[in-house]
Amino acid sequence: MSTVYSDNKIVRALQNMAKVEAIGGFFPLDAQGNIINPTGRNLIPPAWYSALSACLQFYQDYFGNALQSMWIRGSLARGQAKEAWSDLDLFGLIESEVQVRWSSFSLSLSKEKKLRRLLPLGFEQVPLEMMYSTFNSSVLREMPKIGMLVKTQSLCWWGEDIRDRLPNYQPGPAMMLNYRWLESDWESLQASKIPCRISYQSFIKTLVRTAFELVMNRLGKYTTDLYWCAEAFTQYYPQKGITLKKILNLYVQPLKEKYQLTALLEEITPWMISESKRQIS
């Protein structure tokens, strides 16, 4: 098992290269160690309201009365949306006799153009992630990760807020999610002939958050914020933390340093996949 590394030279090297802004932080915990959901409707700037209303209308037009609620995740739900870093990350919970597992809600080109015209200045090209899923007691048993997302890091923008009916979660295995996608996402990135900026950024997020999942249980804290994920990982894996921070520093303009980024990803990703499997088994 790795231990926290305290060599001053390594610490100074990490500090000197850390160009990524320290956005966000660790989620608050209650007295029992349960994660407190840090989202709030009052944290979302009014400039986002028109775009969110349009998204709700898209969901309602498609699902009709089957739509139970629309939720916001990520930095926007916590009042920390930042240009070039944040996604517009939404999902709808629906009622259906046929169980739907966490599926992508695709917009037509015309609807996406309409939505982007409504986004706040500076966020017109923000990555869009709109998902949907059925949700009931059966889904909660079979797909507990959806319940975890709802309970710990999502804001009910419209419809029935069910968070009080869900179990509490603490930092640890129940909060691990990104490691599930890392290997398949890596294969997809490698198979793509000309990966775009969003593809690289999406993979970097998965990689950095997987790195945090490797140390979350020992740390006893939880976050989804990339800077803090990298900082926590570096406490336990200092040498590999240097590589991870170099990757994160290329997040905003991954295509500008594509060859360097590719080399860095090839250096750490196979190890990350292997280490995740080792810890989960």
- For 239-253, the DSSP string reads HHHHHHHHHHHTSSS
- Whole-number Å distance between alpha carbons of 46 and 44: 6
Residue 161 and residue 122 share a domain: yes
Its domain, for residue 63, covers: 41-165
The answer to whether residue 3 sits within a structural domain is no
125: which DSSP letter?
T
Give the pLDDT of residue 20. 67
- Contact in structure between 81 and 24 (CB atoms under 8 Å): no
Total Cβ atoms within 10 A of residue 230? 23
Q: What is the pLDDT of residues 22-49, one digit of tens each?
A: 888 999 999 999 999 999 999 999 999 9
Residue 47 and residue 24 share a domain: no
Give the pLDDT of residue 1. 39
Give the pLDDT of residue 21. 72
The answer to whether residue 35 sits within a structural domain is no
Percent with pLDDT over 70 in the chain: 93
Helix ranges restricted to H, 133-194: 137-142, 144-153, 179-191
Taking the CA atoms of 178, 179, 184 and 190 in sequence, report the sign of the dihedral they define: positive
Angle between helices 179-191 and 197-219 (to 10 degrees): 160
Residue 69 and residue 138 share a domain: yes
User: Which residue, of 143, 165, 187, is where some domain finishes?
Assistant: 165
Quote the number of domains for the chain.
2
pLDDT category at 3 given cuts 50, 70, 90 is very low
- Contact in structure between 245 and 20 (CB atoms under 8 Å): yes
pLDDT category at 57 given cuts 50, 70, 90 is very high
Which of 242, 241, 258, 251 lies closest to 21 in space, CA to CA? 251
What is the CATH classification number for the domain harbouring 49?
3.30.460
pTM: 0.86
- Whole-number Å distance between alpha carbons of 124 and 104: 21
The answer to whether residue 52 sits within a structural domain is yes
The answer to whether residue 13 sits within a structural domain is yes
Pairing of strands 154-159, 128-134: unpaired
Ramachandran class of 18: left when φ > 0, alpha when ψ lies in -120 to 50, beta otherwise = beta
Burial of 219 (0-12, 13-18, 19+ CB in 10 A): middle
Torsion angle of the four alpha carbons 209, 215, 221, 226, in this order, in degrees rounded to the nearest 10? -30
Residue 191 and residue 119 share a domain: no
Residue 90 and residue 155 share a domain: yes
Q: What is the pLDDT of residues 65-120, one digit of tens each?
A: 999 999 999 999 999 998 877 889 999 999 988 888 889 999 999 999 999 999 99
